[in-house]
Amino acid sequence: MKKITLLLVIILTIITKSFGQNNPVENLTYSQTYESPNNYFQLNWEEPIQPHNQLIGYNIYRDSELFRFQTERALYNFYSPVYGFVSNCGLDFLERDNQNQPYTNGFEIHVTAVYEPGQIESNYTQTYHANPLALQINSFTQEKAILFPNPTNGELNIGNLDLEKIIIYDISGKEIKVFAPSSQIDLNNMPKGLYVIKLFSENNIIIDKIIVK
């Protein structure tokens, strides 16, 4: 009897491990920004939880319409303070559907995992809404940051007016400090080095580099 019970347990274990392993992707995230005149976005996800069948890649959908298959776990078009402009997609992701019609109201995004044998797709548990492509407004003026002294020993003066927010980033793109609008900000507690500053106004975002010495 014990041998029969043990055999049944082994068979059930094998059956359990043989089915239900087409798991969905994990931790889907999406971000989208417009910094005149550029549109940026990032779609990221993690591999499905183990155990799973042989994973060969991912299908990316817009409004339940397949955009493309890929093996990389990200779709992106953005600016990095370290690497500059990086993209594996381009703005066609936001611009037009498969029938070449413009997305005027945006669309829903989801990602499925694709498995062998038979290129079986997983289901999906998360969706995100993408906004349509933002167009440049020609009336915006191209401004430059007015920063002095730069390099600075700690006190940085800002000549640009009508700001709404000031953010400092390190060179990896990590947000370090957020300041309320001001003509002078205190950087005395920051380690020496190179940083990126973003000046946010109602109609523009100005990006520049500063050095704390």
Write down the pLDDT at residue 13: 47
Question: Do 112 and 154 fall within a single domain?
Answer: no
Write down the pLDDT at residue 3: 55
Asked if 159 and 147 touch (Cβ cutoff 8 Å), the reply is yes
3 class by beta-carbon count within 10 Å (0-12 exposed, 13-18 middle, 19+ buried): exposed
Domain ends where: 130, 162, 194? Answer: 130
- Of the chain, the percentage scoring pLDDT greater than 90 comes to 47
Write down the pLDDT at residue 73: 94
200 class by beta-carbon count within 10 Å (0-12 exposed, 13-18 middle, 19+ buried): middle
Q: In terms of Cα–Cα distance, which of 166, 154, 156 is closest to 192?
A: 154
- Return d(Cα 201, Cα 181) in angstroms, integer: 9
Question: Do 79 and 152 fall within a single domain?
Answer: no
Length of the chain: 213
161 in any annotated domain: yes
Q: Which residue ranges in the chain fall short of pLDDT 70?
A: 1-20, 83, 135-143, 172
Write down the pLDDT at residue 141: 43
Question: Do 154 and 121 fall within a single domain?
Answer: no
pTM over 0.85: no
If one counts the domains in the chain, the total is 2
For residue 87, which amino acid is it?
A: S
141 in any annotated domain: no
Question: Do 113 and 192 fall within a single domain?
Answer: no
Name the residue range of residue 180's domain. 147-212
Write down the pLDDT at residue 172: 65
Write down the pLDDT at residue 80: 76
